[in-house]
Structure 1
Amino acid sequence: MLLISLLSLITLVLATGNVCKNGNVINKRLNGLPFYWPPTWNESQAAPFLEQGQLCSWTVTIPQGYYAKLIISGETLDLDSYFQTIDSAGNLARTTHEGLEPYYFVSPKFQLVVSNDSPATFAFKIIWLPLPPAVDLHYGIGFAGFVINATNTPYAHEYGASGITLLTFPENTTDLFSLRSVLVYEGNDLKTANYISNLFLLYQTGKQWVSRTNGIVVVNLEASTSMDQLLIQGSQYLTAIGEMVELRPELNSIYTGALQGGEKKSSLVSVADVKMRMVDVKMNLDATVAIYYGSPDVQTHDKTYTGEQLKQALPLEFPGDFTQFVVSNGKAVFTFES
């Protein structure tokens, strides 16, 4: 009887949380201060309870030249409830647990939605901050490509080529939140470029991103301590390649990189400043693997082996940095040690 009463009390407490509504609009504060919901909450506190059975939304407007930084604290308690954001390019993100990891949004607006069948906890903060006023550096992409630390410092870089690809190498594949601050635009300057997405969402597709224009702008809004790397290549060097897979060298360990193959060539790519020793390979003996120190091009080509020749040549040493192993066809598994 005591247990039943205790459970009833807990249910009552959870059920009498905050009430919200659908269709809210939030504009940038004229005084520059953040917006909090509920107004009595701040990020040093635990998220308050949200009454069950609600569907609430906030449309947040963002003036040109600004971005909005959103943090959410909360957790849903059933499988059907969620927190959701939709950015100005229509990218949707849906979660059930939020721990104050920031989101970043650009003009003209984004939408925040909470739907909770059961009681939940929920609170959020929005602050509007100025975007970089202009691109700070312009780069033309050649066969060497570019490998940059994507998140350790703020920047706004423009890259030009007949087509551009991005492949992200997070420092920690189980903690990608630092990638949210890196925004990708198609175009040649911040005033006219079209926002596409952020590296967090692009990485989750499991594929390299390919631009539809001859220029992109990459902007990192906030510095982090993560050593996330971004590989930027001209797509003209990759037209014959259908699959790009990141290789992650690990010091004092044995590790593998696997390619699934297909009708096109496939590439295993490393950008780590770690020396590698290839000690084993499993691939079709009549297939070939070409090794490049840069984007696939005659200027960066080192050697080409058949599967049989490569097996006989092992072990092979590689200096690290930007290295690609391009397989002509079929599946392949490479084993390395560092």
Structure 2
Amino acid sequence: MNLLIFNFFSIIFISLKLVSASGYQCQGPIKLTPPEDLNKIVYWPSIWNDSMPPVQFATQQNCEWQITVPTGLFATAVFYRDAPTSIGISVEFPNGYSEGLDNNDHYPFIFTSPMFKVKLYKSAKQGQFSFKVTWSKYPDAPINHICLMKGGNPVAQSPNSSITVFTAETNVSFLAFSLKNASHYPLLRQSAIYDGDSTSGNFLGNLYAAMMQGKAVISTGRNLAINTFGLYNLFNYTLYMAQDHSNDQNVLKYEGKNCPSDYKCRVTLNALSGRAVIVTSGNQPEFITGIDNFPDNSTLKIYEGVISTNTLVTTLTKANYQYRLPMELKNTIHQYVLDDKLLDIELSRDVNNGYVTGNPISSASTATIPTSATSAAVTAFSSSSGVSSVSTTSSKFSMTTTNTDLTTIFGLETTTKSSPTRFVILVILFSNFIIFLQENQFML
């Protein structure tokens, strides 16, 4: 018995010595399968555990590990890399998508059936690399069924404890959002998108990969499922949106964005190769506080909800955008659509950021005009017209309007009014037009 114990520890000692001397060999492919006891952790190399530094590997070898994930299970893997950046080490997801591994990135990956791969590429340099894998059964979770209609509004969600199944009339178009803090992006790997109505469907990606690709994930059929595992403990804001694929309008670049709370942020629409859309979502109003260098012959259309003529909030061009901003949007989903070139937009959810150079906030349904430019005209005509409801003491004069030809000039929209009120409005508009010409040194 004593001799057996001595021999066992001798083998362990010799193995450690060989590994530390030249590094381990791993040409493979090396196949790993779940243990009978799913509570057990599988380590590579088997002589290593996560209380130790990663183990050195030998040079000049291409290695591949194939890790089986049976149906009904998912795998969680953590990788420990300490190697020069010139050494390539990557993981390959079940759908063929690959992601490089970085030093000191110990955030978990989640993989679904049937298999994922780990690859180490040939290099003359040495490095250290180890990993651990656990397999788990899917926990019992409620199923949240959501129907998506042609022409219907998209559905945006924060992570939750349910498995959400979207069912569309055609196909499901699924869009992942960025995070408020980019340093947390690796956490989005703890999610899975499935092609179908359950976790047995083919793996389509995770929220991180879907966000990075800059376009929507499209289901092959009418159903798509999303499992965010424990992300609901970390994030309480929108991380994804789904709609019927017919609503996509053949958009080339489709991105969901989250701005830092209560701070301005800049988003870029890149329509150099085709129409680009940026989507934002939240329960608070959103303010467009600025646009830099609006390109010639480009058009920015802003929608609240689905992209359609009925939900179009405003159309901005180089000729009118300065008179429309800042602008407030109040719906929960906003879609910014650029038809050509590049455009930077400054957004905020802080009402105090809605004021730029003293201009009050406008919106699609309310046009705001400074009293200093109109109070004299209002005072002069209010008594003769019989209008007593127009206030000249407020810091701004607001009127509700709908689209007419004046929209192009003033960024205003007009509705049907009584004759006296219409007369006052026309006087106000004419007064502002004269001031605009004077400020821009036009000859009258």
Into which bin does the TM-score normalised by the smaller protein fall? 0.7 to 0.9
> Alignment identity in percent?
19
After the TM superposition, which residues 143-222 of structure 1 pair with which residues of structure 2 at under 5 Å, given as runs?
143-150=152-159, 153-161=160-168, 162-171=170-179, 172-191=181-200, 193-222=201-230
Q: Does 1:44 align with 2:51?
A: yes
Shift of 1:65: 0.5
| Residue of structure 2 aligned with 1:76, choices 83, 96, 110 | 83
Whether contact under 8 Å (2:214, 2:253) holds in the other structure is no
Which residue of structure 2 aligns with residue 29 of structure 1?
35
TM-score, scaled relative to structure 1: 0.83
Task: State the AA in 2 paired with 1:107.
Answer: S
Measure the CA separation in 1 of the matches of 2:63 and 2:339: 52
Whether contact under 8 Å (1:75, 1:122) holds in the other structure is yes
Measure the CA separation in 1 of the matches of 2:312 and 2:244: 16
Q: Classify 1:16/1:154 alpha carbon distance in 2 versus 1 (closer, same or farther; 3 Å).
A: farther
Mean Cα deviation higher: 33-42 or 265-274: 265-274
Q: Classify 1:64/1:310 alpha carbon distance in 2 versus 1 (closer, same or farther; 3 Å).
A: same
Q: Classify 1:54/1:96 alpha carbon distance in 2 versus 1 (closer, same or farther; 3 Å).
A: farther
Shift of 1:132: 4.7
Shift of 1:147: 1.4
Greater helix fraction, Structure 1 or Structure 2: 2
Q: Classify 1:283/1:39 alpha carbon distance in 2 versus 1 (closer, same or farther; 3 Å).
A: same
- Structure with the larger RCO, 1 or 2 (CA within 8 Å, 6+ apart): 1
Shift of 1:130: 0.8
Shift of 1:249: 3.2
Measure the CA separation in 2 of the matches of 1:182 and 1:221: 6
Shift of 1:294: 1.2
Whether contact under 8 Å (1:78, 1:117) holds in the other structure is no
Which residue of structure 2 aligns with residue 111 of structure 1?
117
Shift of 1:261: 2.5
Give the 3-state SS of the residue equivalent to 1:22 in structure 2: coil
Whether contact under 8 Å (2:305, 2:331) holds in the other structure is no
Name stretches of at least 5 consecutive residues in structure 1 with no aligned partner: 1-11
After the TM superposition, which residues 117-132 of structure 1 pair with which residues of structure 2 at under 5 Å, given as runs?
117-132=124-139
Shift of 1:66: 0.5
Q: Classify 1:260/1:55 alpha carbon distance in 2 versus 1 (closer, same or farther; 3 Å).
A: closer
Shift of 1:262: 4.8
Give the 3-state SS of the residue equivalent to 1:241 in structure 2: coil
Q: Classify 1:201/1:274 alpha carbon distance in 2 versus 1 (closer, same or farther; 3 Å).
A: same
Shift of 1:197: 1.7
Task: State the AA in 2 paired with 1:118.
Answer: K
Shift of 1:139: 0.6
Shift of 1:264: 4.9
Backbone CA RMSD of aligned residues: 2.9
Give the 3-state SS of the residue equivalent to 1:159 in structure 2: strand
| Residue of structure 2 aligned with 1:137, choices 144, 154, 175 | 144
Shift of 1:320: 6.3
Which residue of structure 2 aligns with residue 267 of structure 1?
277
Which residue of structure 2 aligns with residue 308 of structure 1?
319
Shift of 1:125: 0.9
Measure the CA separation in 1 of the matches of 2:98 and 2:68: 17
Whether contact under 8 Å (2:173, 2:216) holds in the other structure is yes
Measure the CA separation in 1 of the matches of 2:269 and 2:42: 47
Give the 3-state SS of the residue equivalent to 1:302 in structure 2: strand
Whether contact under 8 Å (2:141, 2:162) holds in the other structure is no
Whether contact under 8 Å (2:20, 2:55) holds in the other structure is no
Shift of 1:21: 4.4
Measure the CA separation in 1 of the matches of 2:210 and 2:28: 29
Equivalences, count: 323
Task: State the AA in 2 paired with 1:26.
Answer: L
Shift of 1:200: 1.8
TM-score, scaled relative to structure 2: 0.65
Q: Does 1:283 align with 2:290?
A: no
Measure the CA separation in 2 of the matches of 1:155 and 1:117: 48
Q: Classify 1:315/1:181 alpha carbon distance in 2 versus 1 (closer, same or farther; 3 Å).
A: same
Whether contact under 8 Å (1:242, 1:262) holds in the other structure is no
Which residue of structure 2 aligns with residue 89 of structure 1?
95
Mean Cα deviation higher: 94-103 or 297-306: 297-306
Q: Classify 1:297/1:122 alpha carbon distance in 2 versus 1 (closer, same or farther; 3 Å).
A: same
Q: Classify 1:320/1:102 alpha carbon distance in 2 versus 1 (closer, same or farther; 3 Å).
A: same
Which residue of structure 1 aligns with residue 108 of structure 2?
102
Which residue of structure 1 aligns with residue 345 of structure 2?
334
Shift of 1:131: 2.4
Q: Does 1:238 align with 2:245?
A: no
Greater strand fraction, Structure 1 or Structure 2: 1
Measure the CA separation in 2 of the matches of 1:210 and 1:197: 11
Name stretches of at least 5 consecutive residues in structure 2 with no aligned partner: 1-17, 351-444
Measure the CA separation in 1 of the matches of 2:250 and 2:119: 42
Which residue of structure 2 aligns with residue 292 of structure 1?
303
Shift of 1:30: 0.8
